[in-house]
Amino acid sequence: MELSQHYREKMISLKHKGQLARIDIGELTGYSVEGHEYMHQKGSPGWRNTDTEMFPIIGPTAEADFRIQTPKGMAVQDQHGLLREVPYELIKQSETQATYLKKYKAGNRVVNSKYPEKSDEKELFWPYDFEFEKRIRILESGLSVSFKINAEKGMPFMLGYHPAFRLSVKNPIIKANGRSISLAEVLAVGSRALQVPDCNDIVLNDSKRLRIKTEGFKSFMLWTEVPNMVCIEPITFYPYVVEQRNLHRGFQTMESSSATFKVTISPK
C-alpha cells in the first residue's frame, strides 16, 4: 500500500509476543524482548546511532583523496560510502514488519554530512543508479533485517550492516568460529575494527545471550571505543587488508539486477 507523507516521516513500532522493535525513518533504534533492551541507545556514550548501512564501499577513503575506482570512472565517497546520506522512504508497514527504500540516480551529488568538520569533501557521488531496500521483521525466533539491492548487472559494490548492541556486564564475551573474543580485544584494535573472517554466526554473551546470523555476507568486524556497547557488523569485505587507494579490490559485482542479504538477531 502507498503511505502518506505523514507516515513516511514518523517513528514506528513493531510488536509480536513480547518483542518490540522501534524504527526511526529506517534506523532500528531499539529491539527489546520482555522488556530487556538489546540495542545501544542514542545519547549513550560510544556512538550517535543505533544502526546504519555501509554502501557501496566499506572503510575509510581520506588517504585516497576520497576517490574510488570503478569501471565507469572515479566515484567520490567518504568513509563507508554515500548510502547513509540518502533518506529512507517507508513503503510498506504492518504490525510485525516495515520496508524502507532509498533511490539513487547515477552522478547525483549528495551533501556529505561529515563536511567540513570531519571531511574535506563537500559532495559525494556514485556513477551507477541503484535502489536499496531494507526490511525489518519480527519473527517467532527474533528480528530479521534484510537488504535488497537493485542495480545494473556488473555494478561493483561492498555492503556492511552496522548495528550497535548495548552491554550491561563488565566482561562480555563474543563467540565466533570456536573462538572467544573479549571486549578488551575489540577495544585494543581501535577504529580499524577487529576482523572475524569467514563467519556467518556470532553469539554475544552479555547479561542475556544474543545470536547474530547472516546470509550473503562473508565476515564480521567488531568495533567499539567504550565499554557500554559493541558493534557487531556483517560485511562483504574487510577494508583494512588493502591500502585505501586500492579499496576497489574489495568490490564484488552484481551478478544479476538484484542481490539480497539477511541478518537475523535472535535472543538465546
- The sign of the CA dihedral 140, 142, 144, 145 is positive
Tell me if 98 sits within 8 A of 27, measured CB to CB: no
pLDDT at 9: 53
CATH of residue 21 = 2.70.98.10
Determine the average pLDDT of the residues in 178-205.
97
- Asked if pLDDT for residue 211 goes beyond 90, the answer is yes
- Asked if pLDDT for residue 5 goes beyond 80, the answer is no
Q: Which residues touch 5 (CB under 8 Å, ≥6 apart)?
A: none
Within-domain flag for 159 = yes
pLDDT at 51: 98
pLDDT at 10: 79
What 3-state DSSP class applies to 254? coil
32 by Cβ neighbours in 10 Å (0-12 / 13-18 / 19+) ranks as middle
CB atoms inside a 10 Å sphere around CB 43: 6
Determine the average pLDDT of the residues in 179-191.
97
Within-domain flag for 94 = no
Within-domain flag for 123 = no
**90-130 residue pLDDT tens:** 999 999 999 999 999 999 999 999 999 999 999 999 999 99
Amino acid (one-letter) located at 234: P
Q: Using the 8-state DSSP alphabet, how is residue 127 labeled? A: S
E-only strand ranges, 94-129: 97-104, 110-111, 123-124
DSSP for 160-228 reads EEEEEEE--SSS-EEEETTEEEEHHHHHHHGGG-EEE-S-SEEEEESSSEEEEEEES--EEEEE-SSTT
Task: Read off the pTM.
Answer: 0.95
pLDDT at 8: 46
**226-239 residue pLDDT tens:** 999 999 999 999 99
**212-268 residue pLDDT tens:** 999 999 999 999 999 999 999 999 999 999 999 999 999 999 999 999 999 999 998
Within-domain flag for 38 = yes
Distance from C-alpha of 250 to C-alpha of 160, rounded to nearest angstrom: 12
Distance from C-alpha of 198 to C-alpha of 176, rounded to nearest angstrom: 10
Within-domain flag for 230 = yes
- Count of structural domains within the chain: 1
**7-57 residue pLDDT tens:** 445 799 999 999 999 999 999 999 999 999 999 999 999 999 999 999 999
Within-domain flag for 65 = no
Within-domain flag for 118 = no
Range of the domain at 249: 5-58+136-267
Rg (CA), the chain: 18
Angle at 179 between CA 175 and CA 182, to 5 degrees: 65
Within-domain flag for 117 = no
Determine the average pLDDT of the residues in 154-171.
97
pLDDT at 268: 83
- Asked if pLDDT for residue 1 goes beyond 50, the answer is no
pLDDT at 2: 46
